[in-house]
Amino acid sequence: MSVQHSHRDDFPALRRKIDGEGISYLDNAATTLKPDSVIRAVTEYYETNGANIHRGKHRLSEEASDSYEASRVLIANHLGASANEVVLTRNTTEALNLVAQGLDLDPDAYVVGCMDAHHSQMLPWRRAGRLALTRVDADGRLDREHFRELLRGRPKVVALTHCSNVTGVVHPVAELIAEIRSATDAVVVLDAAQSLPHQRINVRELDVDFLAFSMHKMLGPTGVGVLFGRSRLLAGLRPLAVGGGMVDWVDLDGSVDRRTPYVFEAGTPAIASVIGSGAAVRYLEALDPGALHRHEQDLAAALVGGALTSPGVRLVGPAELTDRIGLVSLRLDVGVPTGDVARMLSDSYGYMVRSGHMCSQPLVTGLAGGEILRVSAYLYNEVAEIAGFYEALNELLSCIGPAAPVGARR
């Protein structure tokens, strides 16, 4: 039995209809839908408990605290990490800012990044130090020679992106980290927000210092980011926020911080969302990884194939199916209003896709020259949906304006 038929019914949002028609959700790079088990975990916390965590001694508080910490353990095990190396934040953005600000870099510290970085992996390092970006080729793949050239400057930090949210390219980060280790003693910070929903990562095997991602991109609730950090490096980070929950003692003369990871988790967290995140990890780990991989390859082939054969559309990124996820970005003919097309695809055809610069504006501007449509599939999508999307897009574009010949595209 295929992945889509086994699991599509687990996602109640896909049962929704708009004007009597079913919807097709193809905006998974922004956030994924939630299965029933995750929704039940969140609802159960509110229905049967609802107490705050860690500071209360009553029964409900202790139960909530246990459930919250159980989710931390599940997430840590999913990464091959220890629980005290997992900091729970609001999102990937906060996790990366925690590292960038917490390292207390000199303002002139040299940092190497990547041109295809999400703004969350670019702007914090631009503020923290002197950022140099590795170039990419016309398909969005890293220029390895330029990367090595930048490493010769002996950076303090190298900020990598595992998978581009624009091109869907999965970079060979294990090779890149090996090159970093042989060239410099830089701290390696990996943005895995787009890759981890599609593949397991073992932080020990990868030899990464910090890794950040968001649970909402991998079937979990919104409001939960995760930062993995090596114990010795976490111990040296300065907290991004101070207040209740991150101290053991406060008096008129000073305070005593809690141990890691709690010193980085000031204030009341998103308790229900963290508990739901544990349910999301359990759901993902119960899937057949081989079947899931084959299904995602089929989705990627359908996405790329449709882009290459649709008039008025240019594929942004590589046409090859290796080292990529089920995501394509499309540049429409000049003069076609991308945002309006996305709205019409939604309102008239039921296809939910993303338009704009994808919070990666330098890359999108460089590769596409303007706004794009992004179509991203996940485990509950079907190949037939992709074909239907391109039929709708082609029909819509034929009504809006003239299309370029198919042979004019690469």
Q: Which amino acids are annotated catalytic?
A: 359
Residues 6+ apart with CB under 8 A from 182: none
CB 295 within 8 A of CB 230: no
User: Rounded distance, CA 299 to CA 322, Å?
Assistant: 13
3-class SS letters over 315-378: EECCCCCCCECCEEEEEECCCCCHHHHHHHHHHHHCEECEEECCCCHHHHHHHHCCCEEEEECC
First-to-last alpha carbon distance for the chain, in angstroms, is 36
**Cβ neighbours around 192 below 10 Å, total:** 26
Strand partners, 110: 130
Instruction: Give CA separation, 45 vs 42, 60, 253, 275, 299, in Å.
Output: 5, 10, 39, 8, 35
Query: Which amino acid belongs to residue 226?
Result: V
- Region of residue 84 (phi > 0: left; psi between -120 and 50: alpha; otherwise: beta): alpha
Burial class (CB in 10 A: 0-12, 13-18, 19+), 62: middle
Tell me the backbone φ, ψ of residue 159, rounded to 5 degrees.
-105, 110
Name the pairing type of β-strands 110-114 and 247-251: unpaired
Strand-strand pairing, 187-191 and 157-161: parallel
Phi, psi of 86 (to 5 degrees): -115, 115
For residue 259 the two structure tokens come to 């141990």
Provide the token pair at 372.
């794009």
Rounded Cα distance between 162 and 159, Å, is 10
Cα 207-209-215 angle, rounded to 5 deg: 100
- Residues 15 and 102: their CA atoms lie apart, in Å, by 44
